[in-house]
Every structure is written in structure tokens, then in C-alpha cells.
Structure 1
Amino acid sequence: MLKIAWNKQYAHTLPAGHRFPMLKYELLPQQLLHEGTIETANLFEPEPLPESLITATHDPVYWRRLNNLELSPAEIRKTGFPLSRELITREVVIMNGTVQAALFALEHGIAMNVAGGTHHAFTDRGEGFCLLNDMAIAANYLLQQQRVNQILIIDLDVHQGNGTAQIFKNEPRVFTFSMHGDHNYPLHKEKSDLDVPLPDGIEDVAYLKKLNEVLPRLLDAVKPDFIFYQSGVDILETDKLGRLKISLQGCKTRDRMVLEMCKQNQIPVAVSMGGGYSEKIATIVEAHANTFRLAQYLFF
């Protein structure tokens, strides 16, 4: 059974100025349920992540200051969110959603988090709407529990996974791959194990050709026994921040390539949704819904 992490806190604890792009966290499961792609049994509600798992990845001083709402105004501005107790609770629940999804993926082949993909969170700071790094926390947890030996993180959000790259720069058991807009945020890129920068305005054919050239080679070189997939849909032509020209069908084909690769090679995969900032919320929901539809179709 496809297991999907979702909690009402994903959608209902954000400040008013940030609610429009975050409506997807409420609408996406509703759409999947309405169309019959999933049933309520597919959804699970994660609890807040234990503090010990947070500090296994993030600097304990940073976590203490974040949890005590002690970040400076400049640090808060970098995160993009007004700091609040509700926001911290939301973030910690999202983190456990990806940890639990990873465990379900080991059992079922794939599992998903309606939120997550918070790849701009560094060991000791947050940036770009990311306070803690869910894929990094989950990857470290699997390694510490000796559930896996080699992890590949596939990050196809339009923005580089700079925080993830920094966290794992000295960890050979986690290979970080980011294919992102070269001239997009963040201005200063970290060094992933493999970075594939994309020009503004790239379209479906060139984008998918480049991805198809990279993925098989990565599997052969890295030999992962677990994959985390950051499936941001801000690569769409309609995205206000993306600067690429990928169609809805191109985005769906991208997801199919990644998920088919995982399925065919019997590599468990945990999927986090990442970004999406199109003008129409329906476009964002449809693009993300395609990822879930493919997961259900390919694996179950």
C-alpha cells in the first residue's frame, strides 16, 4: 500500500501572507481522495520528530535557538517565515513525515510526504522557507539504524539543494545530486556531489534528455540501496520563480523516469514534494498529483 505522510498542521499553521502557495498541502490530498487515486487508509499522520533525531543532523545550538524562538531578525528574514511556536511544531511534524515515509519505503518500495523537500536548511541555519532538512534527517536516521548502506538524493527542484549539499559534503555514504536552474536562487551555490546547472528557458526535450543521460550513470556509479527524491514542480513554465519552460507533461515524464528507475532496480524511494509557485493553485496541485498517481500506478 502507498503510504503518504500528511498532517493538518502542514496547511493550517502558516502566517496569512504565506497561505496561498501552501494551500496545496490541503488541496492535494483532497484531490487524490476525490479522484480515487488514494483512500484514507493511504494517509498517515506523523507525530513531532524526537529532538535526538534533529540534533543528529543539525547543530544543537542552532536547534536550541530555533526551538526557543531566539533567532535574530536577520536569521528570520533568511528563512522567509515569521518565526512562531506553531511554525516550529509544523516543521518538526514534517521532518518525521519523511523519516516515517523512508521506513515505509523500505517495506513497500515507495512512500511519500505531502510536504518536505526542505533542502535549503543547513546544519546550522535555515534559508528559503526551510528551517530543518527533512531528507538529511531521514538519511542520517537510516544510516545510524544501519537500515541502508548507500543513499542517493535526487533533487530536481528548480533551486539547488544547497543545504543538503553542505550537510553531506563529508559523508561518502550519501551522494547528493541536484539538477537546478543555474541563475536561480540561491545566488551562492554549494558543491553537491553532482550538480547539473540548467540555462533559463530550457524546454522539455532538452531537460529530459539531460536527465536521462545522468540517471543511469548515477545508478552505476553510486550503487544506492535507498533513494530520496525531491520532486519540486517549480520547474514548470507557469512557475513565478522557476525561469524554466517545462510543461505539465514534461514534469510528469520527469517523475516517471525517476520512479521507473527506482522500481526497475528495486531501490526503495522516499519522495518529498518540494516547491511549486505557479499563479494558479490548480496547476500546482495537478503537477504534484501526477507524482502520486505515478507512484500508485507503477508500484501498486
Structure 2
Amino acid sequence: MLKIAWSEIFAHSLPEGHRFPMAKYDLLPEQLLYEGTITDSNLFAPEPLQEKYILDTHDAGYWQRLNSLQLSKSEIRKTGFPLSRQLINREVVIMNGTLQAAVFALEFGVGMNIAGGTHHAFTDRGEGFCLLNDIAIAANYLLNHKGIRKVLVVDLDVHQGNGTAQIFKDESRVFTFSMHGGHNYPFHKEQSDLDIPLEEGTDDKTYLKLLNNTLPRLLEQEQPEFVFFQSGVDVLATDKLGRLGMTIEGCKERDRTVLELCHKNKLPVAVSMGGGYSKQIAHIVEAHANTFRLAQQIWF
């Protein structure tokens, strides 16, 4: 069964100015339920993640200052969010959503989080609307507690997964692959195990050719036992922050490529949604919905 992390806290604990793009966290499950792609039984509401799993990834001093709302003004500004108890509570639930999705993926082949993909969170700081790194936390959980020996992170958000790259720079059991806008945020890039920077305006054909020439080779080369897929839809030409030239159909084919390769190679995959900032919320929801539709079709 396809299991999907979703909670009302994903959208309803955010400050007023951030609620438009975050409305997708409510609209997406509503759309999937309405069209019959999923039922209520597919959704699970994660509890807050236990602190010990956060500390497997994040610096204890940073977590203590974050959790006690004692970040400096500069640190808060870099996150992009006003710091609040509600925001921390939201983040800790999202972290467990991806961790539990990974555990479900071990059982069913795929698990998904309607939120997550917080790949700009470093070991000791937050950036770019990311306070804690859900992919890193879940990957470390699998490595430390589930006997997984090699993880591949496939980060296809338009922004480089700089936090994830930093966290795992000295961890041979995790291979980080990021394909992103070369001239987009973050302007100082970290070094992933493999980075593919894209030119502005990159279209479907160019993007998909690059992905299809790269991902099968990585699977053969690295022999991962688990995949984390950051499936941000800010690659769309309509995205306010993306600067690429992809269509909704091209984005769907991107997701099909990743998910079908995981299925074909019997690789469990946990999917986090990542970014999406098109002016029309319908474009965001449709592009994200395709990811869930494909997972349902391919596995179930």
C-alpha cells in the first residue's frame, strides 16, 4: 500500500506571508482523494520525531538553540522564516514524516511525504526555508538502525541540495546527486558527490536526456540499497524562482524515470516533495500530484 505522510500542521503553522505556496500541503491530498488516486487509508499523520534521531544528524548546540528559540537574528534571517514554537513543531513532524515514509518504503517499495525535501539545512544551521534536513535524518536512521549499507540521494529540485551535500561530504555510505539550476540559489554551492548544473531555460528534452544518461549509470556504479528522491517541481518554466524551461509533462517524465528505475531495480525509495512556486497554485498541485499518481501506478 502507498503510504503518504500528511498533517494539517504542514500548512497551518506557517506565518501569513508564506501561506500561498504552502497551500499545496492541503490542496494536494484533497486533489488525490477527489480523483480516487488515494483513499484516507493511504495517509498517515506522523508524530514529532524523537530528539535522539535529530542529534544523529544535527549539531547538538544548533538544535538546542533552535529548539529554545535562541537563534541569532542573522541565523533567523538566513532561514527565511520568523522563528516560532509552531514552526519548530512543524519541522519536527515533517522530519518524522520522511523517516516513517522511508520505513514504509522498506516494506512496500515506496513511501512519500507531502512535505519535506528540506535540503538546505546543514549540520549546524538552517537556510532557505529549511531548519532541519529530513532526507539526511532519515538516511542516517536507515544506516544506523535498519541495516542499510548504501544510500543514494537523487535531488532534482531546481536548487542545489547544499545542506545534504555538506552533511554527507565525509560519509562514504551516502552518495549525493544533485541536478539543479547552475545560476540559481544557493549562489555558493557545496560539493555533492555528483553535481549537474543546468543552464537557464533548460527544456524537457535536454533535461531528460541528461537524467537518462546519468541515473542508470549511478545505480550501476554505486549499487545503493535505498534511494531518497527530492522531487521539487520548481523546475517548471512557470516557477517564479526556477529559471528552467520544463513543462508539467516533462516534470512528470522526470519522475517516471526515477520511480521506474527504482522499481525495476527493486530499490525502495522515499519521496519528499521539495519546492514549487509557480504563480498559479494549480500548476504546483498538478505537477506534485503526478508524482503520487506515478507511484501508485508503478508499484500498486
**Which TM-score applies when normalising by structure 1?**
1.00
Tell me the distance in 2 between the aligned counterparts of 1:256 and 1:147.
28
Q: String of CA shifts for 1:168-215, please: whole Å, max 9, x gaps.
A: 000000000000000000000000000000000110101100000001
State the partner residue of 1:248.
248
State the partner residue of 1:60.
60
When the two structures are aligned, how many residues end up with a matched partner? 300
Q: Does 1:220 align with 2:231?
A: no
Tell me the distance in 1 between the aligned counterparts of 2:299 and 2:128.
32
Q: CA deviation at 1:272?
A: 0.1
State the partner residue of 1:179.
179
After TM superposition, which residue ranges in structure 1, 4 or more long, deviate above 3 angstroms? none
Tell me the distance in 2 between the aligned counterparts of 1:84 and 1:147.
36
Tell me the distance in 1 between the aligned counterparts of 2:14 and 2:147.
34
Q: CA deviation at 1:146?
A: 3.7
Query: Structure 1: 5+ residue runs without aligned partners?
Result: none
SS of equivalent to 1:126: coil
SS of equivalent to 1:197: strand
SS of equivalent to 1:277: coil
State the partner residue of 1:47.
47
Tell me the distance in 1 between the aligned counterparts of 2:201 and 2:99.
35
State the partner residue of 2:149.
149
Tell me the distance in 1 between the aligned counterparts of 2:202 and 2:271.
24
State the partner residue of 2:36.
36
Q: Does 1:125 align with 2:125?
A: yes
Counterpart AA for 1:195: D
Query: Structure 2: 5+ residue runs without aligned partners?
Result: none
Tell me the distance in 2 between the aligned counterparts of 1:99 and 1:56.
13
State the partner residue of 2:75.
75
Aligned identity (percent) is 71
Q: CA deviation at 1:259?
A: 0.2
Counterpart AA for 1:49: L
State the partner residue of 2:96.
96
Q: String of CA shifts for 1:150-170, please: whole Å, max 9, x gaps.
A: 000000000000000000000
Q: CA deviation at 1:288?
A: 0.2
**Which TM-score applies when normalising by structure 2?**
1.00
Counterpart AA for 1:212: N
SS of equivalent to 2:100: helix
State the partner residue of 2:233.
233
State the partner residue of 1:23.
23
State the partner residue of 1:275.
275
Q: CA deviation at 1:147?
A: 2.7
Aligned Cα root-mean-square deviation (Å): 0.4
Q: CA deviation at 1:11?
A: 1.0
Counterpart AA for 2:238: T
SS of equivalent to 2:91: helix
